[in-house]
Amino acid sequence: MLLSARVLKDVSSVNSFQHDLNLSWTQGDALDVYIQLLDASLDRADQGFNPGGRRFCPAAASTLSVVLENLDDAKKITRMATQPFAGDASIWKLVINASDKIQGTPQMRLTLTEGAKVTRGVAKMLFRVQSQENL
């Protein structure tokens, strides 16, 4: 298992969303970020799958900690993601607050806890956060 995630856009229900390569926003925006957990070792792009990676549904009552990293620790956020849809355990929601100082192209570190089993993963180049200073 190679834990990773993909970005979802236009999410309105468990059956209504689209995959996206990345998500962009401006620092200071408040938004809900939807991601879909996947096993990146399965259904890979080099095997002809688009998008690559197989959807992964963790066990019931699992938790997901997400860290959006930045070289500057003051611009890093760590929080728990939630499962917005009972019908699909692979979809998780991360709330970005207007006060979050994250910017640039942070990588996302994932820590999935399924009872006693802990799986870690990383997803790179999913987010582009424009600094308010460049507006």
Name residue 31's beta-bridge partners.
96
- Model pTM? 0.92
> Tell me, what's the pLDDT at 103?
87
List the end-to-end C-alpha distance of the chain, in Å, as a whole number.
41
> Tell me, what's the pLDDT at 134?
67
Nearest-Å Rg of the Cα atoms of the chain is 15
Give the sign of the dihedral formed by CA 17, CA 20, CA 24, CA 28. positive
pLDDT in tens, the chain (135 residues): 999 999 999 999 999 999 999 999 999 999 999 999 999 999 998 999 988 899 999 999 999 999 999 888 888 999 999 999 988 999 999 999 999 988 889 999 999 999 999 999 999 999 999 988 766
Return the number of other C-beta atoms located less than 10 Å from residue 134's C-beta.
8
> Tell me, what's the pLDDT at 33?
97
**Alpha-carbon distance 80 to 64, whole Å?**
6
